[in-house]
Structure 1
Amino acid sequence: MKKLLAVMAPLAIVLSACTATGTSSTTSTGAQTATQQLGMAAIKIAINAKCTTELNTLPAWQTATKVMTSTQKQNIQSEICGCVSEKAPQSVTAVDLATAALDPNARAAIVSNVVSKTINACVREAVN
């Protein structure tokens, strides 16, 4: 019985090493996907905040909201910033997502770029 254990233990170690080597590439791909997902989540949160700030500085928005109730203003603002968040994945690369997950300064630059590209189109959609 001890001889069988002595033969089986190294065989089990060798086989488990092969299995671990085979899954390391999958884990690497999974880690990249997880990083991209974290990057997208971070960007979407930052986009909503940046969108609200930029929207409130637009002269047309300031003029239009003078005649709106706070509920109307909030609903339209949510619609516009939701539109910007939906359009964000079209403007962001996988490299940007990974960078955004790890670097707050890069995330701010990416977010600013995405919001400025999409906010005007979303305002037009909301108004129409």
Structure 2
Amino acid sequence: MKHIITATVLALTLAACAGGTTGLGYGNTGSTGNTNAASGLGKTLVQSYARNQCSVELNKRQEWRLMALAVSADKQAQWEEQICGCVSEEAPNSVTVYDLTQAAVNPQARTEIVANAVTKTVSSCLNRLVK
């Protein structure tokens, strides 16, 4: 797992270097594809961890447990899938590039960064489902 994360950080770093000055906002060198590829890798990494952490975080919440008691197991599974899908899409928006590099280097930081991102997004996704 460390090799995958290290490779991801390396790819992000190389993509940022290959991007020239575009990543800093000093002009358009036509390398936005490299920047998009780097952000795509980071987004995929966070989405994967967020998806795994979502049900754990969801089951910690009292409002979720109360909602789950009121519906069938099938409906509960459907709602959990909707919420965790939302979380995996939204969580990368609350993680910075700095956070991604910390996550790649330090497994303890990775857990904390993803947990924070998931905690933030579970609330908003749960509220969307209720509305």
**TM-score bracket relative to the smaller structure:** 0.5 to 0.7
Aligned equivalents of 2:78, 2:48: Cα separation in 1: 18
Partners of 1:105 and 1:41 lie apart in 2 by: 19
Q: State the shift of 1:98 in Å.
A: 3.0
Which structure would you say has the larger RCO, counting Cα contacts within 8 Å and 6 or more residues apart?
1
* CA root-mean-square deviation: 2.5
Question: Gaps spanning 5+ residues in structure 2: where?
Answer: 1-12, 19-34
Equivalent position to 2:51, from 48, 73, 78: 48
State the alpha-carbon separation in 1 of the partners of residues 127 and 88 from structure 2. 15
In 1, the alpha carbon distance for the partners of 2:125 and 2:39 equals 25
Aligned positions of 1:1-128 closer than 5 A: 28-29=14-15, 37-128=40-131
Q: For this pair of structures, how many residues does the alignment match?
A: 102
Distance in 2, matches of 1:64 and 1:106, equals 32
Gap regions ≥5 residues in structure 1: 1-26
- Conserved in 1, the CA contact under 8 Å of 2:99 and 2:113? yes
Bigger radius of gyration, 1 or 2? Answer: 1
CA drift of 1:31 comes to 8.0
Question: What is the CA deviation profile of residues 36-59 of structure 1, one whole-angstrom value per residue up to 9, with x for unaligned ones?
Answer: 554433321221122101111211
Indicate the SS of the match to 1:68. Answer: coil
CA distance in 1, matches of 2:100, 2:119: 18
Larger proportion of helix: 1
Deviations 1:76-106 (A, max 9, x none): 1111111111112221112222332343222
Give the alignment's TM-score, normalised by structure 2.
0.65
Q: What TM-score comes out, normalization by structure 1 length?
A: 0.66
Give me the identity figure in percent. 36
SS in 2 for 1:75: helix
8 Å CA contact retained: 2:15, 2:38? no
